[in-house]
Each structure stands twice: as structure tokens, then as C-alpha cells.
Structure 1
Amino acid sequence: MRNGMIGKLVCLGLCLSLMLGMSSPVYGAESVTKDLYSLNEDGSYSLFTNYVDGYSLRVDQGMKVDMDYSGVVAVLENDSKRIEIYKESLPYNISQQAYINYSNRFINNRTDHTSEYDVQTRINGKTVHILQWSRDKLSRVKNDKNYYVSMEILNGSREVYTVLVKSDKPFYLEGGYQYLLDDFELFAPTKSSYIRQSQAVVPEERGWNQETEDFYYQYFGPASTLQWGIFEPDAPGDFTQMKYLESAMEYEFPILLNYSSFENKTQHPNLDARLKAAYENNKTLELTLQTPSSDSGNMVYDVLDGEYDEFLKDYAKKVSDFDHPVMFRLGNEMNGDWCPYSSYHTAKDTMIFKEFYKYIYNIFEEAGADNVIWVWNPNGKSFPDFKWNDALMYYPGDEYVDIVGLTAYNTGTYYPGEDWIEFDDLYDSLYAEYDRLFKQPMMITEFASSSVGGDKNKWIRNMFNHIGKYENIKVAIWWDGCDWDEDGNIARPYFIDETPDLLETFKEFLNQKPMFWDVFG
């Protein structure tokens, strides 16, 4: 009896250990994922089995498997086709139909996307939604895969398996795609997920000029202490308000956030003037470039079709000719559905953003821009918060990222459903996650607190009391502005000088000496 009980306890312990192990991803620098899947020949196809998410299906022969982000996606690819498979466990307030509808809203952009087939059916005993579409080939994307099908397989009432396929030719020329569904089978997962950690490029290998390398080590080196920057809407065009703020706080911000856009197809009207004005006022720009929204198609596609080459080459040359350090942030918050370069707008295809990012990076390289520090910056929370829109799906590769940016705001409670969120509640878990995922230094590229719904001054004091514990966050940028509602009213006042008390609080904390000042300063 006693031996039998011991055996049961050991068995229970092993089961609990296995379940607990599978609930926590394993993080590592190397791609060690072979035991997470199998890929075996099965007639004219191969049988792919994913032990992390618990499914198997037939795929084309000769495909390479990428499980580096196996907690998010399994990727299989050959020269002509790419397959991404996501397992989505939905929260209580999102139905399977809502997931399908929200995920496929991009198809409403009829300028860029041609819907070819849209049906909900039963295959292999399961309900499946199938959407097939295409777009024009993009001339700046090598071997562009512009024919798509997305298949959402429903399981129970709270799970959806999404199989997203891209091909460089129409599917009828490649045997269709139903074979992916015919033998799709589910089983209990047996392996923990693995997430590859990014690795920082050694600064001396970046090819920066000496001033830029020195700037990097000063602000982002291992011994760097937290520094502050600001977004002030008028600067660098007009420094009047900036000088007032700095005088009131008795603090000079070394970094200035500035936004730019694709103004036309030839050249930015005043980029060189902005860079010069910032430098003359002892500021280094966190220069941001975004594509604007449009009702007549998505500009990201136009960029990748070469329509903005002249503008981008001129932009990169002006930055290169400036020759002083520039922190360049391209397409920030790309995992937010408010950004036109989000895959929410580009067919759930995060490869479009990565091609966009790398294409512009290479234009800067060709311009000899050895003064550019590249900042990759997703939003702290994905909208929609589905795996195909996970921030990791937008990561372009270690060689393209010098700094990892974090962004999370306390938006206040102006709109229904919003909550007042303290700084540490916003950043504790976000920083812990990023610290596991990324080995580059970090910065908070923009953040602030509204005053609607709580005590903003108390929020700021709490922020200053917590931010120092995030050792790898080297720079933080306060966003001194506001969001407007559709009627033109201020909905989220993020102003740094909203009240005299706020200025006094910033003055107090910005001028405190670091803890080890007397030893090392």
C-alpha cells in the first residue's frame, strides 16, 4: 500500500512538473528547437508535428522549419511558399467569430487587396473559415509572395488555429491548399515553448563614426545611468517653450523626440534644418519616420514598390551629411492597429513590415549613414492582442536593431473601458518580458500620464521612485502633448507643465544626484 502510494505521488509529481514546465517558455540565444517538432516524409507531402502547440498536418516537401518563437508561431518555408501557424486561446470576452472578423478587416482595403474566396465550411470534422486573396507584386521585395490564404480552424469554443499561407504564384498552380486541412489533427502538447533571445551587435562592429560610438557608450553603455528626454511639439522648429520648461525645471534634456513623415515623393522639406537646430541647441534627436494613413491604399506597399525611393534616398543622405549622432526610430508601435504599417492593415503579414524596415535600413547603409543608431519600438501591448500581431513577429533581426524601445502610457479614464494604471503596473511586467527577450540596451521612447481619472502628480512621483530599478533602461522620454477626441476636446492631457506642482516634482527628481554620485561622480 505504501509503495503504491509512493508510486502515485512520484507519478503525480512528474505530471505536475511536466505541466508546469510547459507553461513557462524557455529562453536562449541559440536556435535549439529540433526536439520541438518532427518533419517526416508522408507520400507526396511531409507530416509536420508541433509538440509545443499539439497538432500535426501535411505540408509541402522540402520546407525549412523555424521554431525560434515557438511560443508564438511555427513557420515553414521554401523558395515559393511560406506557412505560418498560430494557436490562439481566446479570452472570455472574445468569441471565435470576433477573432475571425477582427483578424481579416484588412480585406476592406480593396485598393490593395483582391478578395478571391471567402467561405466558412466543415473539413475533417472541424469548422474552418477560409479567406483567399492577392495583391500586386512589390518590386522592392525579393521573390515577393503575393498570393494568400488564411484558414482559421475552430476547436471547442475558445481555440482557433490560424494557418496563413503565402505563395509566389496562384494556388491553383501549386495543387491548392486543402491538403493542409485534410489531415489536421490535435493532441495534448508535450514540449515547453522556446523563445530565441535577441543578441546585441558589438558597437565597434557597427561601423559608426567616432562621435556616434562615443554617444552610444555615454547613453547606452553598460555603465550608463538613466538619462531623460522630451517630446515638445514646437521643437526643434521653435525652442521657446522648451527653454521655458528647462528653466523652470533647472534641467536640460539631452534628447529630443521628433516626428517626420513621407511628405512627398522627392524630399523632406526641412529635415536638415531640424537636425541643425537640434544640434545647435545641444539636443540629439530621436528621429521618428512614419507613413500616414490614407483612404486610397496603404503607403507601405507603395514604398516597397519603389514609389518613394527618391524621397528616402534624399532623407538618408541628409541624415548622413549631418554626420552627428541620430537615434532613428522607424515605424514605431507597429503592433498597434492605429498604425497603417501594422499587419492589421497589411494582410496579417508581418513580413511586410520587416521588408519595409530592412529596405529603408539598406538605403541608409548605401548613403553611408554611419551616424545612425537604430531604435526598434513596438507598443507595450498589441492591438489586437493576437499572436499573428505579437511584437516578436515584427522583429527584423539583430543586425538591424541597436536599441529596443518600450512604450506604455497611463491614458487615464476619459473613454469608457479605460483604467488608471500606475507606472510600475505598466512597466514591471513589460520590462521583465523584454529583459528576457532582448539583450540590446533599452529606452522608453515615449511615455506619460494623463490627469483624467487620478492624481497625476502622485503618478509621477511613483514613476521616479520605480524607474531606477529597470537597470537596462538607459533613457526615458516624456511625451509633452495631448490626445484629442473626435469633437476637438482634450481627452488625454499629458502636459508636463499642466500644473505648477508637476513642474516642481520634475525639478525635484531630475536634479537628484544618483545614489553612487559621491563614489563615482
Structure 2
Amino acid sequence: MRRRSLLGLSALAALPLAGCKTYRSDETPPPIESPATSPSSPGGGTVPDPGGKVMLGAYTQLKGLSTAEGIALRERQLGRPERIVHRFYSWTDTLPVSLSYVTSRSTVMMSWRGPGYQQVTNGSADKLIARAARRLAERKVPTLLRWAWDMNRKAVSENAASYVPAYRRIHKIFQDEGAENVSWVWSPNWNSYPDEDWNAWTRYYPGDGYVDWAGVSGYADGQTPGDMFDQFYETYAARKPIMITEVSAVDRGGSTKPDWITAFHAWVKTRPAVGAVVWFDTDTHPGSTEKWRIDSTAASLKAYQAMSADPVFTG
């Protein structure tokens, strides 16, 4: 389901870019690692897999409320803070060192929009990337970074052959700049568009050494959780902790949405490699009239509260 034209939250600040390292643009990236030979990194990196538990969080942006007010409302409704606070940023945004509405009880996940991948691989964006890396390093706390999400739903010119070296280049620059607190979330959509072999999400996987969390997003419109996520789970669960990075369901009236939340709750509980779930909790999405928020109806909120209260979802 096409649903995203989210813009960043701030304009590019006039910060100096001098003094950055030089990164070679003519380096040939190593071949994409195969499942049989690629080395595994520790599960979750600096944001570790909770091991049999699930970190339940959300992107929360509610009509008529500030971000802080929306997050506070959810804490009252659920009886606890969001375990992951998800925010979106454009490519040229200055990534935040701190967010006033996020306490030490929550981990931030930043979804950072990608440009045309050639802007990364040709070296022209190295200074911008290095500045972003230094900003996140300055945070000094574990931070989830989800770069160029849903890469399998883009134009034909933006494909795996250009995505993988771009992802790896950004990863290297972050390492060189000392952003060791970053936990890397690779995150395609559950269904590719166009649905062609060259655009399959497996082709975009940059390799185990570059990924801490294997994430997948999906918005249900008649599909079961298994329809959407089983194949991804079966592909990566033995290699990486799994994160459902964006999820919600279209409300088709009656009990359709709370029933889907209940089914999703059950699906996650029987998939022990799922270590995090991040709901798309909003009714302000540009161009969409769908109320993705968890309390769009009283029954939906009750189903979500039941999931949140489950001891498994206390990671």
C-alpha cells in the first residue's frame, strides 16, 4: 500500500562541513554476501534483541496534539512508555542529538530518507553523511537508524545494484566517524512494487555485517499477518532479530481492525525472533484519510492495550 510522502522535520542547519574525512568514490564494494558465508553481527547491535521479549513502540503523530502530547497520551492509555519512539527525517535534515519528549526509558528509531543512490556512491554526499554520523555519535546513547526504507517500492532506476553500495558506503562513513552507538535497521516493504524478480527485497540485502536488525513494514488491507510477514521471517529469522518497522491495518468497519490487531498479537507471540514492533500510530499522514492510530475505535484500542499488556511485549 503506497502511503508515504512524509517530509523531514527541519531545514538543513548552517553548520560547518569542513574537516571531514575523504571517502573514495571509486572503491568497488565487496560482493553481496550469501546467507551461507556471511559473518553475523551480534543480535541487534547496540540496541540488543530483548531475547524472547518484544519491544513495542510507535511513530505517534496525532491530530490536534504535539508530538510530546501524543506520546504522553499513549503512555496514559497503555500504562507505560513506548519502548521505541520512531521519527522520520529527510535527507538534508539535521539529525537530532536529543529529543525533549524521549526519556531514558525509550529508544529512538530515526528513519532517514535516502536521496538518489548515485549521490551517495559518487562521493558528493560524503560531507552530509559524515555530519549526520557525528550528530548521532554525539547522542552517545544506542540509536536505531533506518536508512532508505521501502527501497523495493521505488522507481526502476533505483534498484539493488545501486542501493547496496550506497548503504555500505554510508555504513562505512558512520564507522569512520565513530558513530558506534548506531544500530542499523534494514527495512524493505513486505510487497515489492513493481513485483518483479529484479526488485525482490532479498536483492537489496546489504549483508549480515551491515545489518543489526532485519526490518519489514506492511499495512494490512485484507491480508493476514502471515500473508505479509511469514516469508520475510523465514528468510532472516535464523540470522538477525526481526523488527516490524511500520505496521497498521485498514479499518473496513465492524471488528475488522481490532480482529487484525488480535491476529497480529498472536502471530508475533509464535515468532520468537521478532524482537520489536513499531506501530504507525497517526491520523495526520499526508494524502491519506485512513486513521492508522491505535484508538481509531474503542475496540481497536482495547485490542492494542491487550497486546501491550501481554508480558511478552515488555521487552
Q: 1:354 to 1:459 in 2, by over 3 A?
A: same
CA contact (8 A) 2:168 2:206 kept: yes
Q: 1:432 to 1:453 in 2, by over 3 A?
A: farther
Which of 272, 278, 284 in structure 1 is aligned with 2:97?
A: 272
Which of 510, 513, 517 in structure 1 is aligned with 2:308?
A: 510
Alignment of 1:320 onto 2:137:
yes
Deviation at 1:472, TM superposition (A): 0.6
Measure, in 1, the Cα distance between the counterparts of 2:285 and 2:178.
40
| Structure of greater relative contact order (alpha carbons < 8 Å, 6+ residues apart) | 2
Which of 107, 117, 128 in structure 2 is aligned with 1:284?
A: 107
Measure, in 1, the Cα distance between the counterparts of 2:109 and 2:306.
25
Q: 1:481 to 1:239 in 2, by over 3 A?
A: same
Q: Helix, strand or coil: the match of 1:505?
A: helix
Letter in structure 1 aligned against 2:86: L
RMSD value, Cα: 3.0
Alignment of 1:459 onto 2:260:
yes
Alignment of 1:306 onto 2:123:
yes
Measure, in 2, the Cα distance between the counterparts of 1:248 and 1:320.
33
Q: Helix, strand or coil: the match of 1:272?
A: coil
CA contact (8 A) 1:442 1:472 kept: yes
Query: Could you say which residue in structure 2 is the equivalent of 1:142?
Result: 27
Measure, in 1, the Cα distance between the counterparts of 2:173 and 2:123.
12
Measure, in 1, the Cα distance between the counterparts of 2:312 and 2:120.
45
What is the identity percentage for the equivalent residue pairs of Structure 1 and Structure 2?
23
Query: Could you say which residue in structure 1 is the equivalent of 2:80?
Result: 251
| Structure 2: gaps spanning 5 or more residues | 1-23
Measure, in 1, the Cα distance between the counterparts of 2:151 and 2:128.
21
Which of 472, 492, 515 in structure 1 is aligned with 2:273?
A: 472
Q: 1:2-38 deviations in whole A, cap 9, x for unaligned?
A: xxxxxxxxxxxxxxxxxxxxxxxxxxxxxxxxxxxxx
Alignment of 1:388 onto 2:198:
yes
Q: 1:447 to 1:309 in 2, by over 3 A?
A: same
CA contact (8 A) 1:482 1:495 kept: yes
Which of 408, 416, 432 in structure 1 is aligned with 2:218?
A: 408
Greater strand percent: which structure? Answer: 1
Query: Could you say which residue in structure 1 is the equivalent of 2:3?
Result: none
Query: Could you say which residue in structure 1 is the equivalent of 2:177?
Result: 367
Alignment of 1:426 onto 2:234:
no
Query: Could you say which residue in structure 2 is the equivalent of 1:201?
Result: 40
Q: Helix, strand or coil: the match of 2:311?
A: coil
Which of 481, 484, 506 in structure 1 is aligned with 2:282?
A: 481
Letter in structure 2 aligned against 1:140: S
TM-score after normalising by structure 1: 0.50
Query: Could you say which residue in structure 2 is the equivalent of 1:345?
Result: 157
Query: Could you say which residue in structure 2 is the equivalent of 1:95?
Result: none
Q: 1:239 to 1:354 in 2, by over 3 A?
A: same
CA contact (8 A) 1:482 1:493 kept: yes
| Structure 1: gaps spanning 5 or more residues | 1-138, 145-194, 293-298, 413-419
Deviation at 1:364, TM superposition (A): 0.3
Deviation at 1:482, TM superposition (A): 4.8
Q: Helix, strand or coil: the match of 1:252?
A: coil
Letter in structure 1 aligned against 2:239: K
Alignment of 1:229 onto 2:57:
yes
Measure, in 1, the Cα distance between the counterparts of 2:295 and 2:97.
29
Q: 1:131-161 deviations in whole A, cap 9, x for unaligned?
A: xxxxxxxx724369xxxxxxxxxxxxxxxxx
Letter in structure 1 aligned against 2:281: D
TM-score after normalising by structure 2: 0.80
1:3-18 equivalences under 5 Å are none
In the comparison of the two structures, how many residue pairs are matched?
285
CA contact (8 A) 1:198 1:439 kept: no
Deviation at 1:278, TM superposition (A): 5.4
Deviation at 1:279, TM superposition (A): 4.6
Measure, in 1, the Cα distance between the counterparts of 2:252 and 2:153.
23
Structure 1 runs (4+) deviating above 4 angstroms are 197-200, 482-485
Q: 1:251-299 deviations in whole A, cap 9, x for unaligned?
A: 3211111111122xxxx4452243xx3553632111111136xxxxxx3
Which of 426, 435, 439 in structure 1 is aligned with 2:239?
A: 439
Q: 1:352 to 1:226 in 2, by over 3 A?
A: same
CA contact (8 A) 1:249 1:504 kept: no
Q: 1:199 to 1:303 in 2, by over 3 A?
A: closer
Q: Helix, strand or coil: the match of 2:130?
A: helix
Deviation at 1:309, TM superposition (A): 2.2
Q: 1:376 to 1:489 in 2, by over 3 A?
A: closer
Measure, in 2, the Cα distance between the counterparts of 1:320 and 1:425.
38
Q: 1:484 to 1:259 in 2, by over 3 A?
A: closer
Q: 1:512 to 1:394 in 2, by over 3 A?
A: closer
CA contact (8 A) 1:197 1:439 kept: no
Query: Could you say which residue in structure 2 is the equivalent of 1:35?
Result: none
Deviation at 1:304, TM superposition (A): 2.6
Measure, in 1, the Cα distance between the counterparts of 2:231 and 2:119.
37
Deviation at 1:443, TM superposition (A): 1.0
Q: Helix, strand or coil: the match of 2:245?
A: strand
Measure, in 2, the Cα distance between the counterparts of 1:365 and 1:374.
11
Q: Helix, strand or coil: the match of 2:86?
A: strand
Q: 1:388 to 1:425 in 2, by over 3 A?
A: closer
CA contact (8 A) 2:94 2:132 kept: no
